[in-house]
Amino acid sequence: MKYISLNHNSGPTSFKKAVINGLAPDKGLYFPQEEVKLSKGFIESIKNIDDTEICYEIIKEFIGDEIPKNKLIEVINNTISFKIPLKKIEKSIYSLELFHGPTLAFKDVGAKFMASCLDIFKDSYTSKKITVLVATSGDTGGAVARGFSDTKDINVCILYPKGKISKVQEKQITTNGSYVQAIEVEGDFDLCQSMVKRAFSDEEVNRKIALTSANSINVARWLPQMFYFFLAYKKIKNTKRNVFSVPSGNFGNICAGILAKSMGLPIDHFIASTNINDTIPRYIKDGIFEPNDTQATISNAMDVSDPSNFIRIQKIFNNDLQKIRKNLSGYSFNDQKTKETIKELYKSKKYLTCPHSAIGYLGLKEYMVNDDKINGIFISTAHSIKFKDVVEDIINSEVKCPNSIKNILNRENEHQSIEGYDELKEILLKRD
């Protein structure tokens, strides 16, 4: 498979190059050059074959012979090494729990897959030591740090905004030992992001070290997110239409689901559920793409007003708004509504969700007012412990802490603090 740039000013490139570059030279997002269609026979057999084989059959079309079969199987097994339960919450409503991975959010899947690909490609890429440089608003940092824990000769450098991520998220970033350099930035996520961008275009830095991004737009993070839509479908026992509600921020996760549908997976409809950063629900309604300033919410991993991946969704639907509307609904919810829902689900269904997942549930309920003869599946993107303070405040009771988190909560935070780009540059140049 070759990858084209959605800015159309860079030529087609290999999977390997697309993974290493992250973004195309013309700053466009990479997109598979050819459409992939799975055979009817394969779709019908999904319910009877094992998870690894399902994932292999899907992803091999996007990688071709760039990773040998036995290696690719190994990568897949490392990526889906945790359980992905589909839990019935109420009549026709299921939660697809993607938070049982090492850092308790769905980003573990993409981060692990990408780390394994880079590990395979690194020797033919550069003789310099690779540093993965990433800015995080919360969940990406921990997932990337953990994803690279077995690829010891790749360094990871994570920038996070001081005081703007949860305590558990901070522990996941700052307690990994020496291969991860955690950098606390005096400022917000946008500042972290702009420093990362500056480092990538800084010639002096790039002469000395090989920088790679682990941004969520990287094809090696985006594509494996298809896995869980297929694995969820495998678990469904009836033939009702399937509708997925995906709590969305940068729209990578939902875009992977839409790609899965375009390949032939029987999904009837998608719901983009957002917080008040509602650019896409407004776009679907009015046809006008008009991002507002980003607003901070309790579902902070979705505080995105100009979602990078939406252009990929437009591409899948040939930029046809009517087609988009036929396949995708969008609803947004404020913090108040989110809190009420967490409380209500906990009280009446004994089901505890994080703020993001609660928004997924809300979007599904809203859609089902007009269409309830379906399997409604909302994606639970993170464990509630990651947002402990917010959630405990809402339910007035303690969130049970998984053992994996208990262990890191007692560890000492190790990080450096910086205010501006010059300090970041100094840190990067010192390290090789």
Ligand X SMILES: *Cc1c(COP(=O)(O)O)cnc(C)c1O
Task: Name the residues annotated as catalytic.
Answer: 107
Query: Nearer to ligand X by C-beta: 242 or 250?
Result: 250
Binding mask 102-141 for ligand X (x = CB under 6 A): ---x-x-------------------------------x--
Measured from the CB of residue 97, what is the shortest distance to ligand X in angstroms? 12
DSSP states along 12-53: -B-HHHHHHHSS-TTSPPEEESS-----HHHHHHGGGS-HHH
CB of 249 to ligand X, least distance (A): 4
Nearest distance from C-beta of residue 356 to ligand X, angstroms: 4
Cα 197 from Cα 210, distance rounded (Å): 14
Q: By 3-state DSSP, what share of the chain in percent is helix, strand and coil, each rounded to 5? A: 50, 15, 35
For strand 30-32 and strand 3-5, is the pairing parallel, antiparallel, or unpaired?
Answer: antiparallel
250 binds ligand X, rule: CB under 6 A: yes
Instruction: Decide: is 170 part of the binding site for ligand X (CB under 6 A).
Output: no
Whether 251 and 307 have beta carbons less than 8 Å apart is answered as yes
Judged by CB under 6 A, the stretch of 28-36, 165-173, 243-251, 335-343 that binds ligand X is 243-251
Per DSSP, the residues of 272-305 read EEESS--HHHHHHHHS----------SSGGG--S
Question: Nearest distance from residue 269's CB to ligand X, in Å?
Answer: 17
- Of these, 21, 253, 279, 338, which contacts ligand X (CB under 6 A)? 253
Cβ(306)–Cβ(295) under 8 Å? no
Q: Which of 247, 257, 281, 363 binds ligand X (CB under 6 A)?
A: 247
Phi, psi of 375 (to 5 degrees): -90, 110
Cβ closer to ligand X: 32 or 247?
A: 247
| Residue 303 in contact with ligand X, rule: CB under 6 A | no
Q: Which span sits near ligand X by CB under 6 A: 14-22, 187-195, 242-250, 418-426?
A: 242-250
* Minimum separation from the CB atom of position 24 to ligand X (A): 20
Q: Do the beta carbons of residue 184 and residue 409 sit within 8 Å? A: no
Helix (H) or strand (E) holding 11: none
Site string for ligand X, 328-367 (x = CB under 6 A): ----------------------------x-----------
Chosen residue from 249, 281, 330, 376 binding ligand X by CB under 6 A: 249
Is 274 an interacting residue with respect to ligand X (CB under 6 A)?
Answer: no
Q: Which of 106, 112, 30, 13 minimizes the C-alpha distance to 66?
A: 13
Verify binding: residue 382, ligand X, rule CB under 6 A: yes
Strand partners, 243: 269, 376
- Name residue 72's amino acid: L
* Vertex 115: Cα angle to 43 and 163 (nearest 5): 110
Q: Alpha-carbon distance 213 to 265, whole Å?
A: 30
Among 141, 142, 147, 252, binds ligand X (CB under 6 A): 252
Tokens representing 317?
């639907």
| Binding flag, residue 169, ligand X (CB under 6 A) | no
Between strands 93-97 and 374-380, the pairing is parallel
Question: Pairing mode, if any, of strands 328-332 and 269-274?
Answer: parallel
Q: In terms of CB distance, is 297 or 381 closer to ligand X?
A: 381
- Window of 161-169, 245-253, 278-286, 396-404 that interacts with ligand X by CB under 6 A: 245-253
- Our finding on whether 301 is near ligand X (CB under 6 A) is yes
The smaller minimum CB distance to ligand X, of residues 58 and 379, is found at 379
CA–CA separation, 130 and 149 (whole Å): 14
Stretch of residues binding ligand X (CB under 6 A), selected from 18-26, 43-51, 247-255, 404-412: 247-255
CB nearer to ligand X: give 301 or 364: 301
Q: Is 302 in the site for ligand X (CB under 6 A)?
A: yes
Order the strands of the 328-332 sheet from edge to edge: 86-90, 93-97, 374-380, 241-247, 269-274, 328-332
Beta carbon nearer to ligand X, 54 or 382: 382
- Residues numbered 173 to 212 that lie near ligand X (CB under 6 A) are none
Q: Which residues bind ligand X (CB under 6 A)?
A: 105, 107, 139, 216, 247-253, 301-302, 356, 381-382
